[in-house]
Amino acid sequence: MNMKWAGLDESGKGDYFGYLVVAGVVVDEASAARLRSVGVRDSKKMSDRAVQSAAREIRKICKYDIVKISPEKYNQLYKKFRNLNKMLAWAHARVMENIVEKYEVDHIVVDKFADEDVLKSMLFEKSKGKKIVQEVRGERDTAVAAASVLARAEFLRTLGSLSKEVGIILPKGATHVEATAKKILEKYDENTLSLVAKTHFKTTRKVIKK
């Protein structure tokens, strides 16, 4: 029996600038072995160039689904959910449902980010019948590692696009970002900042002194 499963992971939740991206990748034993052979592992242990190269291989080898939440949409959703883990759960649930609707999978592995009930409470109809395994350090599973790579590659791509739009290089991460946020405010306004940044971060309150 050729078992197929999906792995899910996200990128961008700890980055002040840029999208929140959740990816899901479908594998079987053969494709998982191919992914490992081309160097797919936890994206946090890979350089940006290696992530982008591995993402191209994943897209060739596997079925996948990606949900991208722009900073503008993220800020709207955060006001609705008032909780990052609930928003993450909603985005993971959306990817799961898309995968279950399109592909046959025996189970789903998720890199655990909250209490199990948080994700379960957000599941859409077709996903509720699937076995879902939430694992701490889930990237040890090849499908989850592949999802982490796809999500990070898409985060990097969209961060580059946003940088071009505002004419300012937007840094990764959440430290050393205040100077860039101030530049955006000087060149544009608060509304533009909300189009490229996750405004609930403390950085926003530091740079907008009211």
pLDDT in tens, 15-60: 999 999 999 999 999 999 999 999 998 898 899 999 999 999 999 9
Mean pLDDT of 165-191: 96
- Identify the pLDDT of residue 102: 95
pLDDT in tens, 58-77: 999 999 999 999 999 999 99
- Identify the pLDDT of residue 210: 54
- Identify the pLDDT of residue 209: 77
**Helix-helix angle 142-166:29-37, to 10 degrees:** 60
Torsion sign over Cα 28, 29, 34, 37: positive
- Count of residues making up the chain: 210
Distance CA 97, CA 103 (A): 10
Contacts for 129 with CB less than 8 Å, ≥ 6 apart = none
Could you give all domains of the chain from N- to C-terminal order, each with its CATH number?
4-163 (3.30.420.10), 167-207 (no CATH)
- Identify the pLDDT of residue 172: 97
DSSP 140: G
pLDDT in tens, 126-153: 999 899 999 888 789 999 999 999 999 9
Is residue 1 scored above 70 in pLDDT?
no
Exposed / middle / buried, residue 70 (Cβ in 10 Å: 0-12, 13-18, 19+): middle
Is residue 184 scored above 60 in pLDDT?
yes
Q: How does the average pLDDT of the chain come out, rounded? A: 94
- Identify the pLDDT of residue 2: 80
Strands 20-28 and 63-69: antiparallel
- Identify the pLDDT of residue 134: 93
Q: What is the residue type of 97?
A: E
